[in-house]
Structures are given as C-alpha cells and as structure tokens.
Structure 1
C-alpha cells in the first residue's frame, strides 16, 4: 500500500511544484523569491532544530541523517498560510496552500539513501497603484513561479554514534513577472514581461554525532555545509503596448531581449546541538550563517536593494510523556515547540528584512504502526513598516505524513 501512495504522491508533486504560488509576499519580487523552509513538519514545529539521530523520520537538513533510518520512510507535507500585509496606511490579507516536500528514505545497513523533491523558493505577488484621476500614471506588478530542488543523498554510519553524509541537488524552475503602466483616460499602456528559466547544481555535506552520558542522557551534534554554487538564468524580456479598454490585450510588440545571467550564491554553514533522553525529551539549538543571502537578476536589480549576510538562530525541542504507553494515546503524542530569529539578508531602503516566529506542534502516532501524522503551528512577523515598507504578520498550519514500512525483505523457503 505504501508503495502505491509514494508513486501517486510523486506524480502529484511533480505537477504542482511548477504551478503553485507558494507565497503572497511583496518581498518575493527580489532575488529568486522567498526562500522556503527546508525541512519536514516535525522539524518546523521545533523551529528547524533537527539534531537527534532519528530512525523513523527523515531529516531533510542533513544528509548524514539518512544512515539512521531503520525502515523505508516516505514523507509528504504541506502548509496553509494566512498573512496580513500591513503598511503605514492600510492592510490586506492573503492566503495560500502549498506542498512543501516529498521524500523517500531507504536503509541498507550502515548506509542510508534519501531522495525527493523540495520547492526551494517561491515568487507570488500582486501590487498595484491605480487612480481614477485623469492623467495619473497607474502601475500594476505581479509575479509567479520559483525554484525547485530534486535531491539525492547518501549517509554512512561510521559507528553507532557518528554519521557522515553528502547529497547532490539539481535546481530548476521558472519565474515570470509582469509590469504594466497606463495613464487614466488614455487607452494605450506599456507592458513589460520577464521570464527567467533557472537551472544549476549544488552539493551539501554533513555529519551527526551522539555522546551518551549518565542517567540516560545523550548529547547530540549536527554540522551541515552547503558549498558555494551558481544558478544559470536564461532571461527573456518582452516589451509591448497594450489596449486598456480591451483588458490589456497586446497592440504592438516593441521588442524582445534575451540574455543569460549567472547568479552566484555563497556557501552556508549550519551547526546544531542538543541534549535529551531518547524517546522522552530533547532541547536543542541551531545557528546558520552565510556571507550573502542572494543575488538580483537583470529585471529586479534596484539601487535601494541589497543582499547582506544571512543568519538564523533557533531554539526548539519535544516532549513525550510515555512513548510506549498502551493505556493512553495522549501519552504517546509528541509535543513540540520552538522559537526562531532569522536575518534574511535582504535589505530594502536601508531596512533589514528580518523574521521572528514561535512554533508549536503535535506528533500523532498511527496506532499499530511506526507511522505518524505531524501537525505544526507557526506565528511570526517579517519585515517592517518603516521607510514605506510592508510588515507581514503570518500564521501557518503545516501537516506532514511520515509513513514507515519494511522493504527489501529476503524471502525464506522451508
């Protein structure tokens, strides 16, 4: 049954990963869009702290974790987002439902293999300044698309406490933007359409370590390093005049421009550490750092926009009252929580766009199996209303499925 679910889900995600608008943020105009959280619903519920060597959940943040898996594991998750976009003068609400990840992990003794598909960044904005006053210049901007990552990773268990791993990621996607300018009372306006087809490859390496202390306590460590990488962007720009009265249909194509741009991204280091008792509780922290958060393309490069250092600090953990309780389902539930502060690196009009949030979650075991359903809640704030910018107050509800089964069983004949 799980094999049929995996095949169906892979086909579904491969179709929608190109089409979905995973954000409603005006800040997704810059760079390659909003960078999505790379991880599962259970990790997101702990503010991204995934440091324990888990045998039934896939850790998408460190390829060394694949060596911990004991069963074939399939994971799939999505998020419902509602955001209030607030400026000095007004506010608007937006809602989105997205698929966040699909991955499969396969254990082969000391070796673990993981592969899957992750939407990495999203572009989705609609901005307009329209007036009924005659001779007023009106503007409308919208954008869709994003970047996806297909990955293949390998983890190796050096010994019972130490794992190493690496993965390769193929990046692909398309971003489309449209800018429209027209004057009230004048039937003809100007349209500029940009399309960027993105592709590239990058690599991660990682390591995970566990030290056993007295009184059933364990200390955990995790290190992940993403190498500097380059995205190739094949850009096409179409400029045309449009008819305002006919729904902005094209009147005349003024020109088409094509060029290729290399977008270079800095290396990134992520270090996590934690302490806890297996199957009981864990508290840990994560620190991530990169010299630069991104790079603009030819169509979204402005003098008042820059890309500085990226940084993330998170604190999170979980608690299980009694994971093998037979009499109480509530005692087997995993209760999760976390706090995060993220410096995105995007700087607009001299203002740093930062993200701060609170996360909570529940891991609900499926009775009679090692599979589980994970529900996460996230409340946060990003951006600022200073310098005529937009502050985003968001609430996310994430649902993830972690399904486990035993494959590759050698049959025995009597």
Structure 2
C-alpha cells in the first residue's frame, strides 16, 4: 500500500485524501491550522462538482444541505432590468446529468472531513505547517515548521494560493492582485423580505462592480457578495468592513439590488488574487493541486469544482502506483489537467473584465449579446465546464 503525504487540509486536500484512499493508498494530511475547518460563506457547485463528489462517495451528503437552484440570472445592476437567465432544471439537468446547487462552504467541507475521519487509511494531522520537502529515488520527506517529518512515495501540495509547496517547486513569488475588492455578508433568511427570496443565483452587473446573492444553508441564510473594481493593490483577507463604507461603494446601484445590499450586516472584506496559468505543476514525486496549482477568481464559480476534479483524476492515475512509476503518473496528471484548469483561470478573469464590469456602450452591447442567446446556446457556453465527466476537456477544439 503506497503512502502519500498531502500538504493542506482544505477542500482540495481532503478530496484528494478520499480519492487516494479509495484507490488503496495510505494518506497523511498535514494542515497548517490547529483544527480542520473551512472558513468562508457561499459556494456554487456545478454538475461537474457533483460528478466528482459522487465519485468520492460524498455526493449524497452534500446534497442534503445544498440548495438546488432554478436559474442563473443576469441583471443590469443600474437599470434593474433582467438581461438573461439560464434555466437549471429540466433540459439543463438532463443534458449535464446533475443539478446546479449552492452551499455554505462548511456544508461541502464537513462531508469531506467526516468521510476522511471514517477511514483507517487517512491520518489527519493539524497544526503541521509544511516548510519544505526533500526527495530521493524512493520517496519524499516533508518537513514541518516545528521540526517534524513525514515521508511518502509522493507529496501532493494542496496548500492553497500561497502554497509553501509551490514556492519550493516554482519559486514564482506572490499571487497576482486582481485590483478587485469583494465584500461578503451572510444573513438569516428571516431578515429577507419574502418577495426577495429568489431560488436563483442572481448577478447584478454595473460599471466596475457586480453583486451576487443566493440562498444557502438548506434555505436558512442569504449569501451576499458584492465586488468593486477599485484598483486595490494590497492583499486583504477578511477584516471587518463598516456597513456605511460598503454601501457607499455602489452609489448607482438600482432600487431592488440596493434593497438587497442594505440587508447585509457583519460585512467582511477581501482583495481578490489569482495567478497566471502555468504548464508545470510537478517536480519529480511532488505535484500541486487545486488553488496551489491553478488559483482563480470567483467569477466562473469553478475554484472548488476544479479542485474536486483534480482529486478524482489524480486518484484514478495513481491507482496501483508502484514506487518506480510515481513520477510518470504525476506528469500524466499534470498533462491531462493543466489545459482545462488553466482555461478556467483565464475565463474567470475575462468574465470579470468583459462580462460583469463594462459601462456605457460596452454594457449595452453585452446586454444585447446575452439577451439574444437561447437556452441551448447558454448551455453550450458552459458545456465544456459543467458537462465534462472525465475532467480533461479544455473547451478548445484539438487541445487536450
């Protein structure tokens, strides 16, 4: 039984542990925090995520707390007019084989954690920040900040956008600051007027800003996320933001969107970051996965989905792994996944600049383009992401 070490106990790390354990590996997960927990608010899960979760054996557990959405709705944030909506029931579910849903991040994380805790072959080690790794012909030795070591046939770096494993492997510096600031709030559904409790993911697009909201927590909360293209240059991760400050960032917002925005309380602030796509995620017996390999902006709602896909593909490729073919199999993982995940990174950036934030004539052209698309055409736009079941489609003809 091969032993694999995973750096990072987030969604990607735990999904990878489940995937590898399901293929006969013994797994040690090293988490830098002093507990295994997931912070954050709402998260969107496309059909591709549910395909992956089903493969990992936790699909039904996640579905129990998910809110299954009727449509993705795109609104003009200043006029308040409905521009387009992609229906997510009937034909969509039939085509892609699974629903589109939203959950609280914890409602995705906890089923992954519980499933790992149920397996004898998965060891979860908290308060174990990885500092570096060393490898030789037979394995990888992982060193932690406090001087402990773990050794395995392979090391998977699933330790996030500021990955220590990536820094040691690629040395490519700090993440790219997007210049976008996002404010997030989660409020009890009882505080939301009945007429505003829409079973949709709704996006209001305005000049250099957009506002997304949807119900999470099995229907108990409304998740609010409003983003401003403000040229921010310094990363910020989660401090409190004054309600008055948040409301002042969006003076031209339409009446209905304003009503929803004013419901927010306990706002927190982040400056969004990502990285440029890279072709190489491996170094011998070491591979990157999830945000460590391909961190992306939230705008395509695919960050967690792509990490789940990584986990499934990696488990399949490392099935029956022997000590002598680790390097080759990790290189194969890199080869079949980097184009798809890299395109998702670039699409997310493009959606922010070209779809969500235009003003004036460009916004009018966008509205005309979106409103002219049929349901089938809207589905076609996302089919390479939502509909792929082997998780290797880059969405570009001739590229795999």
TM-score of the aligned structures, taking structure 2 as reference length? 0.22
TM-score of the aligned structures, taking structure 1 as reference length? 0.22
Query: Which is richer in strand?
Result: 1
With CA pairs under 8 Å and 6+ residues apart, which has the higher RCO, 1 or 2? 2
Query: Which is richer in helix?
Result: 2
